[in-house]
Structure 1
Amino acid sequence: MNGKLRTIDLTLAGMFVALMAIGANITTFVPFMVIGGVPITLQTFIAILAGALLGRRVGAISMTVYALVGLVGVPVFARFGGGLSSIVSPTFGFIVSFIFTAYITGKLIEKHKGMKVYIFAAIVGMAVNYVFGTNWMYAAYKLWAAAPEGFTYKLVWAWMMVPLPKDIILAVCAGMMAHRLENSVLSKSSFRNINRVA
């Protein structure tokens, strides 16, 4: 594949930007699903799908565009957040991590298309999201944000244990879904055929 982005790449990237905005705010009307300032969303699931279905390059681009759209003020982040002030939010690291999640997920399944590889790549992508986002959050609370009383590194990881089972299940589902879509639809689509020729 050459370095040029094709119309279909941009279209699919835009679709995943929209899906991320929906996934970010799916629990907006369920405020008790916010643990330690971290809203439980479907963003990790969608970031994994972006990498698995679009590939590392287009998947990462779609997540980058999502972050930039939010930073310019469009309310696409969790709880309809947006704007440059989001950078100082303790949870902004998770938004950045989606770029790496999509890239690494896509990279791991580039040459191996088995179901096990898809599920493995999805779990690794989820782990990247957790490690990057959680450590960013810890650093943010220590360096510039107002940390809650008794805040420790163990506590921030304890917060993340709440959504972890959900994200593991969704990661596995994302890997399985991506594999099935690849073999039933995408492998025969113009998107795949174009990229093979390029």
Structure 2
Amino acid sequence: MKNKMTTLELTLASMFVVLIAIGANITSLIPFMVVGGVPITLQTFFAILAGLILGSRLGTIATSAYAFIGLVGVPVFAQFSGGLGALIRPTFGFILSFILAAYVIGKMVKKKNNVSNYILASLVGTAINYIFGTNWMYFAYKFWADAPDGFTYGMAWLWMLAPLPKDIILGVFAGIFAHRLKVTVLNKGAFKNLKIGA
């Protein structure tokens, strides 16, 4: 039984690695949108779902695996990029934030299993993504990347206004969807004994 549960955990974590990778590049199917060097993607949506659905432990594993796979050269980051060069890109902080966001979200939904808390956890995860990612971007432009003319801390946050409405809406949707999935699917069958919220 132990091996079976480990296999299920691995499958779920791997599924979210793939989903985050798809979310990173889904907008490549249309003319790619970039505001201030920040691609508008669905990465955050799937990273938040990882925390909501998998819990803090598996969610952290999935988001960490995504970052690691990209850093070793698999083109899973936005615009089908990958490799160690991503570490010095101004947007890499958003990828790192997925790990912290998934952990915090998982801890929050473990404490209270209702739809309002799922939505709150999702929005907290979105806030973590924005705060960590935007500050990383600011310091990257200030210290090692070529900053645009007249770049300021306020400008960095101004750039983030473009994807903010989309991320808030998707955050609320993620909370509702994950809670519904928990009630209808994850409390039954092979998932019932899996410590997804751990």
TM-score by length of 1: 0.94
Q: Counterpart of 2:121?
A: 121
Matching of residues 1-80 of structure 1 within 5 Å: 6-80=6-80
Q: Find the residue that maps to 1:15 and give its secondary structure.
A: helix
Q: Find the residue that maps to 2:104 and give its secondary structure.
A: helix
After superposition, what is the alpha-carbon deviation per residue over 1:1-27, rounded to whole angstroms, capped at 9, x for unaligned? x9xx81111110000000011000011
Structure 1 residues not aligned, in runs of 5+: none
- Runs of 4+ with >2 A deviation: 29-32
Distance in 1, Cα, partners of 2:45 & 2:83: 23
Structure 2 residues not aligned, in runs of 5+: none
Distance in 2, Cα, partners of 1:194 & 1:168: 30
Q: CA deviation at 1:32?
A: 4.9
Q: Counterpart of 1:88?
A: 88
After superposition, what is the alpha-carbon deviation per residue over 1:48-92, rounded to whole angstroms, capped at 9, x for unaligned? 100010000000110000000000000000000100001000000
Higher mean Cα deviation, 104-113 or 163-172? 104-113
Q: Find the residue that maps to 1:26 and give its secondary structure.
A: helix
Distance in 2, Cα, partners of 1:119 & 1:195: 21
**Sequence identity percentage:** 61
Q: Counterpart of 1:132?
A: 132
What is the aligned length?
Answer: 194
Higher mean Cα deviation, 171-180 or 181-190? 181-190
Amino acid at match of 1:112: K
Distance in 2, Cα, partners of 1:7 & 1:130: 33
Distance in 1, Cα, partners of 2:74 & 2:195: 31
Amino acid at match of 2:8: I
After superposition, what is the alpha-carbon deviation per residue over 1:98-122, rounded to whole angstroms, capped at 9, x for unaligned? 0011111111010211110000000
